[in-house]
Chains A and B, each alone.
Chain A
Amino acid sequence: MDSFDPLTLARIQFAANISFHILFPTISIAMGWVLLYFKTRFDRSGDAAWLDAYGFWVKIFALTFALGVVSGITMSFQFGTNWPGYMQKVGNVAGPLLAYEVLTAFFLEATFLGIMLFGRSRVSNRVHTLATFLVAFGTTVSAFWIIALNSWMQTPAGVSMLDGKVHVESWLAVIFNPSMPYRLTHMLLASGLTVAFLVAGVSAYRWLRGDRAAGVRHALTTGVTLAAVLIPLQILVGDAHGLNTFHHQPAKLAAIEGVWHTERGAPLLLFALPDEATQSNRYAVGIPKLASLIITHQPDGEIRGLNEFAGAHPPVAKVFWSFRVMVAVGVAMLLASWLAAWQLRRRGEPAPWLSRVLVAMTFSGWVATLAGWFVTEIGRQPWLVTGILRTADTASTVGGGMILSTLLMYLALYAVLLASYVSVVFYLARKAGAPAAANLEGVSA
């Protein structure tokens, strides 16, 4: 943010829009599968509590989906307005991948969503379950295409350059580019964790308010168990993703670890203030040799420093801190979910203090997911497509004043919508528990 020139503003605006947008698909991708799970449990067991859980969460799903759809429309307009140079240079890759996302995913999920939400009395139970599956499947297919494109921008493969344009040699190599399997798995797990903590947090909230409906217990157990199972997987996948970054995007990795100069036996920095001016870290606190050990699996392994990428490395502090926020949330997730899973097994319910922790962590998945995307997207700078296209070379022709005024409008709108969303989620939780709570009051009075 050196100055408010159109490029900086276009970047802030795009970042604001895409950050707001990603919040909702992050929930709807995995929530679709969780709803399918609730529905299938009901179909198999006939236990109405599973249907209760489905009925409550499908409302939140509908709201989330609506926010994802409308905030996503913005993206289809801004690809061209904010980055006109992008399609000109890499349109041969980006065009088909974006088109396939719309064609194979967007229509599928949007069309069957109507049947999933409002069609239960109009189609057979089987068709309804199928519609639920197709919505979940559609959200995941959508993630597949967009992550394929994003990963290709990180680690391009399968193309050749001719006349200043990218030409595809192998679609398989483009789609399954080196970072794609890692990023896709990492993101799908992030979605699963976000939903797990959302479901656990809201259920804990209802539990604390005395709502002991069986559906709440089912949802609480599902959320906590899902979180406890997914978080260690996520840590493993995150580690593998880091190794992949080390091999393919060493500048990003150097920024993540705050390694200014190539070194052996690099420490794992827990705290530091990276300073671009002096090319060094201030107030660094670290564990000796641990970064090298984690990344190269050798205590004296070499990590290439930012000095090797002079003029072509990302802003260090933003990447460095975003990464630490993500990891910190991940560690908190590990502790909270394992403790809650253990308490659920041992005592059948989480202690009130732990329930409050779960409530506080309801949206922790959002924090971790956004921080992770900041690492990967800021970490790719100054490139838009690594080694092929610099962000600055795609700049918009739209004036700065126009971008600034619309940016302020979007920010105001997003603030209102975010506040409304969070408040409505908890309001729905209170409303769903209202009859039960009233009964309890009746008993005690």
Chain B
Amino acid sequence: MTAELVLPVIFAGLMAVSLLAYVILDGYDLGVGMLLPLGSDRQRDTMIASIGPFWDANETWLVLGVGLLLVAFPLAHGIILGELYLPVALMLLGLILRGVAFDFRVKAQAQHQPAWNAAFAAGSLLAALSQGVMLGRYLTGFAPGAAAWGFALLAGAGLAAGYVLLGAGWLIMKTEGELQQRATRWAQRALLGTGLAVLLVSIATPLASSRIAAKWFVLPDFLLLLPLPLITLALFALLAVSLPRLAARQAAGNDHFCWLPFAASVGIVLLSFWGLAYSVFPEIVIGRLDIWQAASDAEALWVILIGAAVVLPAIIGYTVFAYRVFWGKARGLSYS
């Protein structure tokens, strides 16, 4: 009996960690994709070079997250992805366009290259917006009506802004010179958009769902949860203060603490994700199914868990290794 109680929780946790890893990792490279049209031709190559070795593996976290949903919570997989059929199809269109444009833009005939650059940026934008809409639809329990769809669109714009912030932070960390200065300005603008979106989503979510409101606005839980919004706020403030100062340092010729904007952005994503997870848990389809109702048989979950326990540390190990290999400022991508 206990296994049937505990295993779904473990798998919900694993799935959440996979999706969180996806949002952070693919988030920065989708963000760089959306920023691509703003760079000059040479800067574009550097921007792509900064994400080139990573994007493939970054996207694999999505396959793992959705794969865990499929294998651990098959009932929920059918319902959620059935409800999200259209935004999922658009997201896949975006991810496919972007993934292939990555290679085609440097390998195709010269006259086709601008089109593939555009496909790269448009695909990144489409994927980010669709994922945000999926999140928004999910949080309202797929409620019908204009208000619920308005909320989903807001979440779409918000997630895209968040990805741009991550992408700009990544570029500040991984590049130098004029591109880095530009990225600092991009980050400042994205910070505004992201802040606004996080604020609106935070206000709208409890309004949209009395269930979620009840989880947050009750004592003593509210006090225990208070650090979450407060630290988020502090991170926004830190970015708002530090980005202009970084710009000033860049003008003076040094980029100390160039990792700070990315780190702070990751912090914001972490806390926002944690807030959302708290709002939803232990439900998996809001208002319809909790994780125990949706879970696969314990016998299957055990087999997967043993595999995951053996393999995940190795995955994390060689992922860290890959990031170390490409540590430091991005150089041009070359096969030689």
- Provide the B42-71 mask, 1 if CB < 8 A to any CB of A, else 0: 000000000011101101101110111111
- Which residue of chain B is the closest to A414 with respect to CB atoms? B96
Contact A103 B312 (CB under 8 A): yes
Contact A102 B63 (CB under 8 A): yes
Q: A92-B300, A424-B108 are in contact. Are A114 and B56 (CB under 8 A)?
A: yes
- Which residue of chain B is the closest to A428 with respect to CB atoms? B107
Closest Cβ–Cβ distance, residue B178 to chain A (whole Å): 23
Name the contact of A77 in the complex, choosing from B68, B88, B319 (C-beta under 8 A). Answer: B88
Name the contact of B100 in the complex, choosing from A58, A70, A106, A120 (C-beta under 8 A). Answer: A70
Q: A77-B66, A87-B70 are in contact. Are A63 and B104 (CB under 8 A)?
A: yes
Name the contact of B322 in the complex, choosing from A65, A88, A106, A114 (C-beta under 8 A). Answer: A114
- Chain B residue numbers with a CB within 8 Å of A92 are 296-297, 299-300
Q: A103-B307, A121-B334 are in contact. Are A87 and B71 (CB under 8 A)?
A: yes
Q: Which DSSP category, helix, strand, loop or mixed, fits chain B's interface?
A: helix
Contact B59 A73 (CB under 8 A): yes
Contact A103 B59 (CB under 8 A): no
- Chain A residue numbers with a CB within 8 Å of B304 are 95-96, 99-100
Q: Which of A241-249, A295-303, A378-386, A396-404 contacts B (4 or more CB under 8 A)?
A: A396-404
- Chain B residue numbers with a CB within 8 Å of A410 are 89
Chain B residues with a Cβ closer than 8 Å to the other chain, count: 62
Q: Does A119 contact B (CB under 8 A)?
A: yes
Contact A91 B296 (CB under 8 A): yes
Q: Does B74 contact A (CB under 8 A)?
A: yes
Contact B92 A74 (CB under 8 A): yes
Q: Does B38 contact A (CB under 8 A)?
A: no
- Provide the A76-92 mask, 1 if CB < 8 A to any CB of B, else 0: 11011100100110011
Contact A69 B108 (CB under 8 A): no
Q: Does A107 contact B (CB under 8 A)?
A: yes
- Chain A residue numbers with a CB within 8 Å of B299 are 92, 167-168
Q: A77-B66, A106-B63, A112-B318 are in contact. Are A95 and B85 (CB under 8 A)?
A: no
Q: Which DSSP category, helix, strand, loop or mixed, fits chain A's interface?
A: helix
A contact residues vs B (CB 8 Å cutoff): 55, 58-59, 62-63, 65-67, 69-74, 76-77, 79-81, 84, 87-88, 91-92, 94-96, 98-100, 102-104, 106-108, 110-115, 117-123, 165, 167-168, 171, 396-398, 402, 406, 409-410, 413, 417, 420, 423-424, 427-428
B contact residues vs A (CB 8 Å cutoff): 52-54, 56-57, 59-60, 62-64, 66-72, 74-75, 77-78, 81-82, 85-86, 88-89, 92-93, 95-100, 102-104, 107-109, 112, 296-297, 299-300, 303-304, 307-308, 311-312, 315, 318-319, 322, 325-326, 333-336
Q: Show 11 A/B contacts (Cβ-Cβ < 8 Å), sorted by A.
A: A62-B335, A69-B60, A70-B100, A73-B62, A73-B63, A103-B307, A107-B57, A107-B319, A110-B59, A114-B54, A413-B96
